[in-house]
Amino acid sequence: MLLVSDPAWSQQTVVLQQGVDGYEGTDDSTIYEESPTFSNGGYDSIFAGKTRGLELTTLRRSAIRFDLSSIPSNAQVTAVTLSLVIAQSASSDQPHNLHPIQKDWDEGTVSGIQRGGASDPGDMTWADNMSGSSSWTNLGGDFGPSSAQTFVGDAGNTIHFSSAAMASEVQGWIDAPANNFGWMMLGNEASLKTAKRFHSSEATLQANRPILTVVFESAAPPPVSTWRLR
């Protein structure tokens, strides 16, 4: 039996994850308040929150962005979910918030345990959105109000950010791809030892990498499929 999609608007779902079905469109990196010229975009983890280091300033923030070009340009987004796997936790449940970034940035390829390393030209750092050529207006990144909040607990669990604001932001990025700067994730920055570690798009185990799920309606029908009655 041949199944043909109705040409009317239909609901579809796209799941974006680095390395799955050839997708290579995830950028993510951590910036460090106490090392404002360091980057860490090639590392297998990202961090957010405040550590218990000896320094007075010990904040970490993470940026994440997905290439949305596989979604039809006429899509009407109805729901968005960002899923992250917790890699390490040394504290109780802590609030984490996503904020839309307001300047372009690049993750780079620097990779190092704890604080990364000296940035390459163009990398995102605490001081610069693109090292050597463009600085943040505000140290630690330029971003809008919180789009979504979730609480982060123990290692091994998966957290999910989802909200109408996120859906609206993704819609805007589909409509104007040049404005897709992704989100900055902030943890609990008021208390020491609240930082959490998450698997990044460079994680060895593919299943642990960040996932963006986008539900949308589109006039473009999905591919024709066939199946047999048994």
Is 90 exceeded by the pLDDT of residue 16?
Answer: yes
Confidence at residue 219, expressed as pLDDT on a 0 to 100 scale: 77
CA dihedral of 136, 39, 67, 180, whole degrees rounded to 10: -10
Copy the structure tokens of residue 186: 């902030």
**Residue 129 pLDDT:** 98
- Tell the burial category of 229 from Cβ atoms under 10 Å away from its Cβ (0-12, 13-18, 19+): exposed
What is the total count of domains within the chain?
Answer: 1
Amino acid identity at 205:
L
Q: What is the mean pLDDT of residues 161-175?
A: 98
Assess if residue 183 is contained within a domain.
Answer: yes
61 located within any domain: yes
* Average pLDDT value over all residues in the chain: 90
Mean pLDDT is lowest, of 43-47, 57-61, 193-197, for: 57-61
Question: For residue range 190-228, what is the model confidence (pLDDT) as tens digits?
Answer: 988 999 999 999 999 999 999 999 999 987 555 443 333
Quickly count: other Cβ atoms within 10 Å of residue 1's Cβ: 6
Q: How confident is the model at residue 148 (pLDDT cuts 50, 70, 90)?
A: very high
Whether 36 is in a domain gets the answer yes
Q: Can you tell me the mean pLDDT for 69-87?
A: 97
Residue 135's domain spans which residues?
Answer: 2-221
Q: Which residues contact 122 (CB under 8 A, 6 or more apart)?
A: 106, 108, 130, 131, 132, 133
Mapped onto helix, strand or coil, the DSSP state of residue 221 is coil
Model confidence band, residue 56 (pLDDT cutoffs 50, 70, 90):
low
Residue 108 lies in a domain: yes
> Rounded to an integer, what distance in angstroms lies between the CA atom of residue 84 and that of residue 164?
19
Residue 149 belongs to some domain of the structure: yes
Average pLDDT of the residues in 167-184: 98
Q: Which residue has the higher pLDDT, 184 or 225?
A: 184
Examine residue 40 and state whether it is found in any structural domain, yes or no: yes
Task: Evaluate whether residue 127 is within a structural domain.
Answer: yes
What integer pLDDT is reported at residue 8 of this predicted model? 64
Q: Is the pLDDT of residue 120 over 90?
A: yes
Establish if 161 belongs to a structural domain.
Answer: yes
